[in-house]
Structure 1
Amino acid sequence: MSDTPEDIPLFPLSSVLFPHARMPLQIFEQRYLDMIKSCARSGTGFGVIWTSGGGEVAGRGEPQLGEYGTYARIVDYDQLPNGLLGVTIEGGERFDLHGAERLASQLIMGSVTFREALPPTPVQPEWEGLVAVLQSLETHPHVEQLQLQIDHGNAWAVACNLLQLLPIDERLKYRWLGYDSVEDVMLELDTLLNEISGEDDTPEA
């Protein structure tokens, strides 16, 4: 990837998007409707960046943007029964945010540099349990609607989709998005799931 900063439109969210993973969005603000239309016409994407508060969450002021995010591409869109535009996005490359500017349209443009793509990494035998958890999650009706295309032999694809689908605090997800070691992600995921299952098995007093 080039170290030269690029300007991309940003979509601040209180949720984290991971590479290899998909997320449904409901679009209703005009600035984002215009952004989606522009991306669809040009075949380009936009940056999803986590915000822990501020304007985009509270509806006023400036958003508190994270230092890094994920480049999203549109894979499907439809008009929802509530009249809003429904969009399914898929995470691609991660990027580092160097600065942001709000345009007259209220759309936020970010100056970013893209990180190297996560390298395909074989799933190790000790991670097979995590693959099984992911495959179980994929049978949920809401997950089936995303039409995920996961390479279950690629540890990064498994880890990112697990992180996307599991009900984990978004602050933890944001931290894990910054990791460059799939071994570290898998270890912490395994520990987290063991803690959850251990709590479930705790007998009542």
Structure 2
Amino acid sequence: MPTTDLAVFPLSTVVFPGGILPLRIFEPRYLDMVSHCMKNATDFVICAAQPAASEDGFAEPRDIGTRVSIIDFDRLDDGQLGITVRGTERVAIADTHQTGNGQWWATATPWPEAEDGPCPIEFAVLKQVAAAMIKDSGQSYEAQASDYDSASWLSARLTELLPFDAATKHELLAIDDPKERLCRIRPMIDIENSGGRAG
């Protein structure tokens, strides 16, 4: 598979192909990254961060992420830069390295997941959870194509929106089979007692 050298943005969350993620950009290294991407019409990679190796070090990338494209940008009320990205493909991250300003770069190789399929009937209640969270999030998913009957689409949106920690989100992103991802998510949600919050 072809590899591409791309900037990497480690975060406390993940985004899947088709997912929408608004970001507030204020660190100089990430302002440089956005400038580079916009000037060169290129993408970058978002992945879940793992703790820095030292107290004064930078959070480090994990080995699976998602290639994203900038689809919108704006100057926020506080003067900081706001951008919105859309996930395009899942990628394996290797050969990570930092530039002088602390920006991570890596080779990104496409990492397709297993074939999609219909959401099994035992996970039907998760459709309601996803719909409620999308409505509450205020993000522009409702303007995008949605497919609550798709195991891949549903498991992706739940992973993005549920308040799991970075390590859990990474584990879910790294699962190749979307039905297996739903199997992992379902026990972590107490539907009846928490209204769909991760438990």
Say yes or no: TM over 0.5: yes
- The 1:33–1:68 alpha-carbon spacing in structure 2 relative to 1, beyond 3 Å, is same
User: How many angstroms does 1:168 deviate by?
Assistant: 1.6
Aligned residue in 2 for 1:44: 42
Number of the residue aligned with 1:152:
148
Query: How big is each residue's C-alpha offset from its partner over 1:97-118, in whole Å with a ceiling of 9 and x where there is no partner?
Result: 2211222343221022221256
Matched, 1:95 2:91: yes
Look up the equivalent residue of 1:70 and give its one-letter code.
T
Q: Aligned letter for 2:14?
A: V
1:28 aligns with 2:17: no
- Conserved in 2, the CA contact under 8 Å of 1:20 and 1:161? no
Matches within 5 A, 1:94-133: 94-116=90-112, 119-133=115-129
Aligned-partner Cα distance in 2 for 1:17–1:160: 8
C-alpha separation between the residues in 1 aligned to 2:22 and 2:121?
Answer: 32
Share of identical aligned residues, percent?
Answer: 27
CA contact (8 A) 2:49 2:166 kept: no
Cα distance in 2 for residues equivalent to 1:79 and 1:155: 36
Query: Post-superposition shift, 1:147?
Result: 4.0
Query: C-alpha root-mean-square deviation of aligned residues, in Å?
Result: 2.4
Q: Which of 182, 185, 191 matches 2:181?
A: 185
Contact 2:114–2:178 (8 Å) recurs in 1? no
- In structure 2, do the counterparts of structure 1 residues 82 and 113 end up closer, same or farther at CA, with 3 Å as the change threshold? same
Whole-Å separation in 2 of the counterparts to 1:71 and 1:118 = 18
- Whether the 8 Å CA contact 1:48–1:69 is kept in 2: the answer is yes
2:14 is paired with a residue of what secondary structure? coil
Unaligned runs of 5+ residues in structure 2 are: none
Question: TM-score of the superposition, structure 2-length normalised?
Answer: 0.84
Shift in Å, 1:9? 0.8
Mapped partners of 2:49, 2:177: distance in 1: 24
In 2, are the aligned partners of 1:88 and 1:146 still within 8 Å (CA)?
Answer: no
Please state whether the residue corresponding to 2:140 is helix, strand or coil: coil
Q: Larger Cα Rg: Structure 1 or Structure 2?
A: 1
2:90 partner amino acid = R
**Contact in 2 for aligned 1:18/1:164 (Cα 8 Å):** yes
Aligned-partner Cα distance in 2 for 1:156–1:170:
20
Tell me if structure 1 keeps the 8 A contact 2:52–2:58.
Answer: yes
Q: For residue 102 of structure 2, what is the amino acid of its counterpart?
A: Q
Aligned-pair distance for 1:84?
Answer: 0.6
Alignment partners' CA distance in 2, 1:32 and 1:192: 33
Could you state the TM-score of these two structures normalised by the residue count of structure 1? 0.82
1:117–1:190: structure 2 CA closer, same or farther, 3 Å change rule? closer
CA pair 65-81 structure 1, distance change in 2 beyond 3 A: same
Equivalent position to 1:74, from 66, 70, 74: 70
